């Protein structure tokens, strides 16, 4: 039976779309590595990678978060819709121009697609670059 929501404290930020949260009751905490659903942020060594990570940290680090798990990825991370302090994190990252809408799920998230188009049109964040490289292309190019 899927969990409807987890109430957690964000204890670490890996990059612009991944965080670690401590969920559960005191004394029975569980660390959960979370990949934010529907977005893909620049990798750490990529242009805007650190900015995306810092922005996520401002939104979530040491904050209470509500996780709505939707899947598990092939790295064993929980893929979830995340809210920190009432803010939808995917929306905030895309609006700031610090994440792409993850293309395979774009049709399920028309609002995010619209926000990405607005960020791109106004040259916000990574869209200030002449030819921003999508993180999935960057990973493909830099695989060992």
**In this predicted structure, what is the pLDDT of residue 28?**
86
**In this predicted structure, what is the pLDDT of residue 74?**
92
**In this predicted structure, what is the pLDDT of residue 19?**
98
**In this predicted structure, what is the pLDDT of residue 2?**
54
108 is catalytic: no
What are the residue ranges of helices labelled H in 25-85? 49-60
Give me the residue spans of the domains in the chain: 6-129
Instruction: Name the CATH topology of 6-129.
Output: OB fold (Dihydrolipoamide Acetyltransferase, E2P) (2.40.50)
120 is catalytic: no
**In this predicted structure, what is the pLDDT of residue 104?**
85
Query: Rounded to an integer, what distance in angstroms lies between the CA atom of residue 99 and that of residue 86?
Result: 19
Q: Which residue in the list 35, 53, 83, 95 is annotated as catalytic?
A: 35
Q: What is the pTM of this model?
A: 0.94
Query: Rounded to an integer, what distance in angstroms lies between the CA atom of residue 110 and that of residue 128?
Result: 22
Question: Considering only CA atoms, which of 90, 26, 37 is closest in space to residue 68?
Answer: 37
Alpha-carbon distances of 27 from 5, 11, 24, 31, rounded to whole Å: 19, 16, 8, 12
Which of the residues in the chain have pLDDT under 70? 1-3, 144
Query: Rounded to an integer, what distance in angstroms lies between the CA atom of residue 44 and that of residue 48?
Result: 8
**In this predicted structure, what is the pLDDT of residue 1?**
41
72 is catalytic: no
Q: Which residue in the list 53, 77, 83, 95 is annotated as catalytic?
A: 77
């Amino acid at each position: 039976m899927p969990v409807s929501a987890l109430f957690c404290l964000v204890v670490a930020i890996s990059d612009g779309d991944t965080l670690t949260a401590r969920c559960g009751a005191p004394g029975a905490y569980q660390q959960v590595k979370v990949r934010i659903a529907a977005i893909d942020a620049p990798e750490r060594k990529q242009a805007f990678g650190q900015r995306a990570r810092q922005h996520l940290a401002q939104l979530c680090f040491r904050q209470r978060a509500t996780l709505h798990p939707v899947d598990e990825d092939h790295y064993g991370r929980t893929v979830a819709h995340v809210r920190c302090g009432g803010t939808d994190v995917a929306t905030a990252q895309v609006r700031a121009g610090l994440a792409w809408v993850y293309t395979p799920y774009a049709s399920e998230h028309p609002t995010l697609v619209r926000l990405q188009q607005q960020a791109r049109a106004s040259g916000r964040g990574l869209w200030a670059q002449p030819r921003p490289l999508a993180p999935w292309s960057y990973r493909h190019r830099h695989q060992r």
